[in-house]
Structure 1
Amino acid sequence: MHSPVSLSALTLRRKAASLFLGFAVLGFAAACSATADTGTASPVTCEIALDAIPGGTRVSGILTAGRAVAGTYDLQIRSGSASIRQGGDFEARPGERITLAETELVGPRAGQQVALEIRHDGERQSCRQPAF
């Protein structure tokens, strides 16, 4: 005979799985960054952040400026048959971290492909999720 499983045991298992997923996403976001150094002392970095939300994933394109910088960005997301593209201009002060674009997708992260390109000072810089 099977012993009954308490509601608190099920809740604990779900929380543990969510915590594991959260740490996995954080590790992945840290791996999806790139740095551009255009010959100045302070680099400009881009990053793709994938954050688990209830029922889906929040995708953010982030820029960190080690110096004053202005340019344009293009964030592309593919999820199944859907394609999302966001772009525009940006300006950032030294030390500033800004979210260039953000969207929320429903469903599991598997199958989502993300790429962020920033253009500044005559340079192109790309951050890509490995599967893109």
Structure 2
Amino acid sequence: MTRLDKRTAAASAALLAVLAAGATGATAGKDGSYSGPLRCEIRDTIQGDAILLEPIVYADKGTSGTYTVSVSGGGTSGSADIRQGGAFEAGPGNPAALSRISVGANGAAYDVELIVTAGGTSISCVKQVPGAT
């Protein structure tokens, strides 16, 4: 491969990466949530000795799709390996609360991943949730 061929290949790969990123229409926030026409969020609330996890999807226009949420981790009171999924519908002013998952909070830490697919677009939100000590 010549030097020019290598540069062309590198430029093509960079362009492909930009196009792929633009196809999702979403940009990641610090908390693992996304902004764009299809967005997701993982809410966590400590309630006594449990953590309530709520994956949510937002959409700028009426859309339907599928989701998968997985939770792994744990602490002194045990471990969790949870996987749930299904269909959803969301639209402007009508976010979809996908599920509610309760896990132990005492000394625990969990990795939560939400993958959302709708209209040929897939996004994911990832969040690490620390428990109460």
Residue 61 (structure 1) aligns with: 55
Residue 112 (structure 1) aligns with: 110
Residue segments in structure 2 that go unaligned for 5+ positions in a row: 1-29
Return the alpha-carbon distance in structure 1 between the equivalents of residues 83 and 122 of structure 2.
17
Could you tell me which of 38, 41, 45 is aligned with 1:47? Answer: 41
Q: Residue 102 of structure 1: CA displacement? A: 1.2
1:8-87 maps to which residues of 2 (within 5 A)?
31-35=31-35, 37=36, 43-80=37-74, 81-87=79-85
SS at match of 1:101: coil
Return the alpha-carbon distance in structure 2 between the equivalents of residues 55 and 48 of structure 1.
19
The residue identity in structure 2 corresponding to 1:116 is L
Residue segments in structure 1 that go unaligned for 5+ positions in a row: 1-29, 38-42
Q: What root-mean-square deviation, in Å, do the aligned CA atoms of Structure 1 and Structure 2 show? A: 1.9
Could you state the TM-score of these two structures normalised by the residue count of structure 1?
0.65
Q: Residue 110 of structure 1: CA displacement? A: 3.8
Q: Is the 8 A contact 2:109 2:128 kept in 1?
A: no
Could you state the TM-score of these two structures normalised by the residue count of structure 2?
0.65
Q: Residue 120 of structure 1: CA displacement? A: 0.7
- Runs of 4+ in structure 1 deviating by more than 4 angstroms, as ranges, are none
- Among the aligned pairs, what percent are the same residue? 31
